Amino acid sequence: MLRPLLPARGLVLEIASGSGEHVIAFARELPDLDWQPSDPSAEARASIAAWLAAEALPNIRAPLDIDVTRAPWPIETADAIVCINMVHISPWSATEGLMRGAARLLPPGGLLYLYGPYVQRCVPTAPSNIAFNADLRMRDPDWGLRELDAVEECAATNGLRLEQVVAMPANNLSVVFRRSPA
């Protein structure tokens, strides 16, 4: 999914990298891109660093401490941003911060790629996603599946336009935004 969306070369910032397994796989498959993992959790950054030490891939930078709700981020620019499974496992303020940060970092036409479960208008929500949403809200009432329309509106407010939505396995979506021309 990512290969045709990403630039041929440049820096890709991964927000909420978690354990680091995704960034390792991306860097292996797309070696002409530089990858910048990040996570607000010190434990996650330690896991990412351990993966980096074990794999020794030359196109992955040391993980950054980025909490999307706090500006400025410790990075000046990125050609693309990838964010997998964060929007629903964080408060709405994280989505707002992600959109503001993406608008600051991305060049015109730059990619913001989101992956995860969403609620779509006029599309029945899968029973497994309804149960998952209930579980998330029990763990933290500020978490939960987001209305894709609300995410799109937040993105548009920050100069990001929805380019495409692609259904993925396990009732997830790939959601592709592009930064609007200046």
Average pLDDT over residues 160-182: 94
Locate the DSSP E strands across the chain.
Answer: 10-15, 33-37, 80-84, 111-116, 118-119, 146-147, 160-168, 172-179
- The whole-model pTM stands at 0.96
Domain ranges of the chain: 10-179
Q: What are phi and psi of 98, to 5 degrees?
A: -60, -45
Interval 32-58 mean pLDDT: 97
Look at residue 182 and tell me whether its pLDDT is greater than 80.
no
CB 87 within 8 A of CB 94: yes
Residue 133: the pLDDT is 87
**Greatest CA span in the chain, whole angstroms?**
46
Q: Are strands 160-168 and 172-179 parallel, antiparallel or unpaired?
A: antiparallel
φ/ψ of 169, rounded to 5, equals: -60, 160
Residue 135's pLDDT is what?
A: 95
Q: Look up the CATH architecture of domain 10-179.
A: 3-Layer(aba) Sandwich (3.40)
pLDDT at 74: 97
Residue-wise pLDDT for 91-107, tens only, equals 999 999 999 999 999 99
Report how far residue 13's alpha carbon sits from residue 134's, in angstroms, rounded to the nearest whole number: 30
